[in-house]
Amino acid sequence: MTYKHPIAPENRLTSKDWSGRRFRAFTRSEIDRIPQLQSLPVATRQAMQAVSAVLPFRVNEYVLEELIDWSDIPNDPIYQLTFPQPGMLGEDEFETMLGHVRRGSDNATLTAQARPIQASLNPHPAGQLELNVPQFDGESVEGIQHKYRETVLFFPSAGQTCHAYCTYCFRWAQFVGIEDLRMAARQSDHLVRYLQAHTEVEGVLITGGDPMIMKTKVLRRYVEPLLDPALEHVRTIRIGTKAPAYWPQRFVTDDDADDFLRLIDEARAAGKRIAIMAHYSHPRELSTDMAQRALERIQSAGAVVRCQAPLIRHVNDSSDVWTEMWRRQVELGAVPYYMFVERDTGAKRYFEVPLARALSIFDGAYRRTSGLARTVRGPSLSTTPGKIVVDGTATVAGERVFVLKFLQARNPDWVGRHFFAHFDRHATWLDDLRPAFGERRFFFEDELAAMGPTRSSEPDMVPRARVP
């Protein structure tokens, strides 16, 4: 059966026939075996090897064959999204690592050299596996975070990797093995008991890594218990994933693609809605035949697809890119949801976009889309007190300010509340902002301090935007 594209031919990439082809990924040790890299200078591959000894690297054949435009590297956005770049490390650190690669140092030496560099890149931006972990019967509940009243995050241990890695991922430390996953859950029984005791929870968000890396039969072990009538208050099950972008075959041609669609339907029959929180970084990820068929199939099985991504220099830092991305999402029936601000970790220097610029990119794109795409919120920062949107700038009593608002908050009473920070065109994160009008603290700070340990940023589904 041929699939009818809703997108104009000039905006489409032609797609290959993937039937019968199994998923194949390449990691650092296989860089020399990636066919598309063979024609690149040896120095380019050595640079990749140097950087990927510090930051994680994983790519797959679909990304290589269909998403990257090899005539436009290094500028190609998907190449920047997935391949390590020299500028991701400081100059000295890069030279040190490159020296070792050129001398042919063994892996143990490279790893030892990489450790202090990794440690300097803020590998635990949020203590993501320590904060917001609830207690139950006096013990921490494995693999769960409960930060916002209505939603519980769940990290199944089998879903802690991805079909490819985003160079900007805030979970990078976990992928290079310096953050351990003792908090990831092996089973869902603790989750179920926790939910039984917390009837204020309306939804569970299954996250990772990428939960869609799991076979459907493994995913079922986590999802099916949530369909129990005893958990009637749990209305939605969200799955945070980049598989629709990195391996849409997961929903189309993989052996257990159909079984996943059945699971969506079974959830619906049990009165729950499965929502796919899809991470799309660039409109190109929506342009292949396979990507469009994946979206079509997910939706016809009865799931909604909401889309989110961080704003990243070198990948998607222009209004045109976001306008095009939101338009395509709407054309394909998906719902634009969040634009995130890159968090403070990893190769942040390389990727960061100041808040003022993020705001103008967001506004520029938002103005040019129809109301159907204006379901999107952003630019949003996932911080310790909550998700904060930079709503605009204003001049009040002669002072230029950022107008900020909580979209989600640790204390639900803060949601929707506006507050003001002195305008600073270099600021990239909440830590860089100070309250406007000469005030000493933001309104939430005292209460937040009383809530216990705080850090500057917290995990999310994306990568940060957490990502997946």
Ligand X SMILES: *Cc1c(COP(=O)(O)O)cnc(C)c1O
The dihedral sign for the CA sequence 378, 381, 386, 388 = negative
Q: x-or-dash pattern for ligand SF4, window 31-70, by CB under 6 A? A: ----------------------------------------
153 binds ligand X (CB under 6 A): yes
**Interacting span for ligand X (CB under 6 A) from 13-21, 42-50, 147-155, 187-195:** 147-155
Identify which of residues 323 and 383 has a Cβ nearer to ligand X in the complex.
383
171 binds ligand SF4 (CB under 6 A): yes
Q: Minimal distance in Å, beta carbon 466 to ligand SF4?
A: 6
279 binds, among ligand X, ligand SF4, none (CB under 5 to 8 A by kind): ligand SF4
Query: For residue 32, what are the contacts with CB-CB under 8 A and spacing of at least 6?
Result: 45
CA distance 341 to 464: 8
Scan residues 229-258 and list those touching ligand SF4 (CB under 6 A): 242
Per DSSP, the residues of 115-172 read HHHHHTT-S-SS-TTTTTPPEETTEEPTTEEEEETTEEEE-BGGG-S-SS--TT-TTH
- Beta strands 151-154 and 203-206, pairing class: parallel
Q: Minimal distance in Å, beta carbon 70 to ligand X?
A: 35
Alpha carbon of residue 6 to chain centroid: 26
408 binds ligand X (CB under 6 A): yes
Single-letter residue type at 169: C
Q: Minimal distance in Å, beta carbon 338 to ligand X?
A: 7
Q: Minimal distance in Å, beta carbon 317 to ligand SF4?
A: 17
Q: Decide: 265 and 229 in contact? Cβ < 8 Å.
A: no
Distances (CA, A) of 256 to 3, 7, 260, 294: 20, 27, 6, 13
Choice from 170, 385, 460, 463 touching ligand X (CB under 6 A): 460
128 binds ligand X (CB under 6 A): no
342 binds ligand SF4 (CB under 6 A): no
Q: Roughly how many angstroms between the first and final C-alpha of the chain, as a whole number?
A: 31
Distances (CA, A) of 188 to 155, 171, 192: 10, 22, 6
**Interacting span for ligand SF4 (CB under 6 A) from 97-105, 150-158, 282-290, 460-468:** 460-468
Polymer length of the chain = 468
Q: Minimal distance in Å, beta carbon 351 to ligand X?
A: 19
Q: Minimal distance in Å, beta carbon 257 to ligand X?
A: 26
The first and second tokens of residue 226, run together, are 């949530």
Closest Cα partner for 204 from 191, 193, 186, 216? Answer: 191
231 binds, among ligand X, ligand SF4, none (CB under 5 to 8 A by kind): none
Identify which of residues 162 and 361 has a Cβ nearer to ligand SF4 in the complex.
162
**Interacting span for ligand SF4 (CB under 6 A) from 96-104, 203-211, 357-365, 394-402:** 203-211
Residues near ligand X (CB under 6 A): 145, 147-148, 151, 153, 205, 382, 387, 408, 460
Residues near ligand SF4 (CB under 6 A): 162, 165-166, 169, 171, 208-210, 242, 279, 462-464, 466-468
